[in-house]
Amino acid sequence: MSQEVNIYTETMAKVYADQGHWEKAAEIYHHLVQKDPERQDLRDALAQAQRERDENPDKRPEKLVPLFREWIELLLQHEKLQKLKKLREKL
């Protein structure tokens, strides 16, 4: 965790926010606000990241992981079926 904290910068938080990783952006903004509580821009950015995270729970990237796993599994099954069909045609 201490190494991660070293890269907790405003730029990194903006990158995460731009990519829709609101949970991580909020985590970094929270850290930055703790270090510099007087910065209203950081508090506003934290509030925005938390709002986006809470309003769009189904759009979180981590929610997509199971879908990608299923998609990859289906692709692999399709590839196996295609190979079996080719093998059957040769027989």
| Model confidence band, residue 3 (pLDDT cutoffs 50, 70, 90) | low
Whether the Cβ atoms of residue 61 and residue 20 lie closer than 8 Å to each other: yes
Beta strands in 1-91 (DSSP E): none
Q: 21 and 6 share a domain? A: yes
pLDDT for position 28: 96
71 and 41 part of one domain: no
What does the mean pLDDT of the chain come to? Answer: 88
Strands (E), 23-70: none
Q: Which domain holds residue 73?
A: 60-91
Q: Give the number of domains in the chain.
A: 2
Tokens of 47: 């509030």
- The answer to whether residues 46 and 84 belong to one domain is no
Same domain, 1 and 43: yes
Query: Is the domain of 42 the same as that of 84?
Result: no
DSSP 8-state symbol, 7? T
How confident is residue 43, by pLDDT bands cut at 50, 70 and 90? very high
